[in-house]
Amino acid sequence: MDASVPAIVINRLPLYLRALDLMVENDQRLTSSQELAEWLGISSAQIRKDLSHFGEFGKQGTGYEVPFLRDQLRSILNVDQLWDMAVVGAGALGHALVNYGGFAHRSFRVRAVFDVDPDKIGQSINGMAIESQTVMVERLQTMEIKIALLAVPVRAAQHVADLLVKGGVRAILSYAPITITVPNGIQLAYIDPVVALQSMTYYLTPVVT
């Protein structure tokens, strides 16, 4: 981890990795910053500049070797290992996250699910028993889980985030539509569908009603 690399550069690396993963799946051996630019809608100069923070990956005239650059990015992003995650909130969203097919093969797996509802605790999702939030801090520590997906109602989000940090979690991905505060050094990101929707409505013709 190089703290001098701007966060906005780091945020683009997973997009490069996703494109490269697809190329590897299609047995593509070589790519270029121009091709990546076309796939991703980011300028080729920006892509070359972003990658140059981490070394010299391309060869003049031949471009990038796809499997090599993919492996380098996996290593830079620390996803050349499997990360265990906890899901907090066993409602509809929690169920969807436990069953999500996009984690497998992309270095993440859900290993624990917590909720406060006595009716849910003990039931299972995809073979995993829902555990009580009262044992969460201890369980997170024992299982050494460092990443959590926050799928609780807005009113509970900050309190649960505090508990997660207490349990040793270092990165929280929150689905709750509310701003959360975490101590320095704890990573926090939000899944906000409205941000994605508003980028698209820009291109739509307003509806006259």
Q: Which of 30, 71, 146, 180 binds its own copies (CB under 8 A)?
A: 146
Instruction: From residue 82, give the alpha-carbon distance in Å to each of 63, 75, 97, 145, 206.
Output: 29, 12, 17, 11, 45
What is the largest distance, in Å, between two alpha-carbon atoms of the chain? 63
In the complex, minimum distance from the CB of residue 32 to its own copies, in angstroms, rounded to a whole number: 19
CA 104 from chain centre, in angstroms, equals: 13
Going 105 to 191 to 179 to 116, the CA torsion angle's sign is negative
In the complex, minimum distance from the CB of residue 203 to its own copies, in angstroms, rounded to a whole number: 5
Terminal C-alpha separation, the chain? 52
Q: Which of 4, 41, 118, 183 binds its own copies (CB under 8 A)?
A: 41
Q: Does 45 bind its own copies (CB under 8 A)?
A: no
Tell me the DSSP string of 116-153. S-TTTTT-EETTEEEEEGGGHHHHHHHHT--EEEE-S-
Strand 63-65 and strand 58-59: the pairing is antiparallel
Q: Does 147 bind its own copies (CB under 8 A)?
A: yes
- Binding pattern for the stretch 109-138 against its own copies, x by CB under 8 A and - elsewhere: ------------------------------
Instruction: From residue 52, give the alpha-carbon distance in Å to each of 6, 9, 48, 55, 61.
Output: 13, 11, 6, 5, 17
Q: Does 24 bind its own copies (CB under 8 A)?
A: no
The piece of 28-36, 111-119, 132-140, 173-181 that touches its own copies (CB under 8 A) is: 173-181
In the complex, minimum distance from the CB of residue 82 to its own copies, in angstroms, rounded to a whole number: 8
Q: Does 197 bind its own copies (CB under 8 A)?
A: yes
Identify any residues that bridge with 87 across adjacent strands, giving them in sequence order. 113, 149
Q: Which of 28, 34, 99, 134 binds its own copies (CB under 8 A)?
A: 99
Q: Given 3-state DSSP classes, what are the helix, strand and coil percentages for the chain, each rounded to the nearest 5? A: 40, 20, 40
User: Count of residues binding its own copies (CB under 8 A)?
Assistant: 68
Q: Does 183 bind its own copies (CB under 8 A)?
A: no
Q: Which of 24, 79, 128, 156 binds its own copies (CB under 8 A)?
A: 79
Provide the binding-site residues for its own copies, judged by CB under 8 A.
1, 6-8, 10-11, 13-15, 17-18, 22, 41-42, 76-79, 81, 83, 85, 91-93, 95-97, 99-103, 106-108, 144, 146-147, 149, 151, 153-154, 170-171, 173, 177, 179, 187-204, 206-207, 209
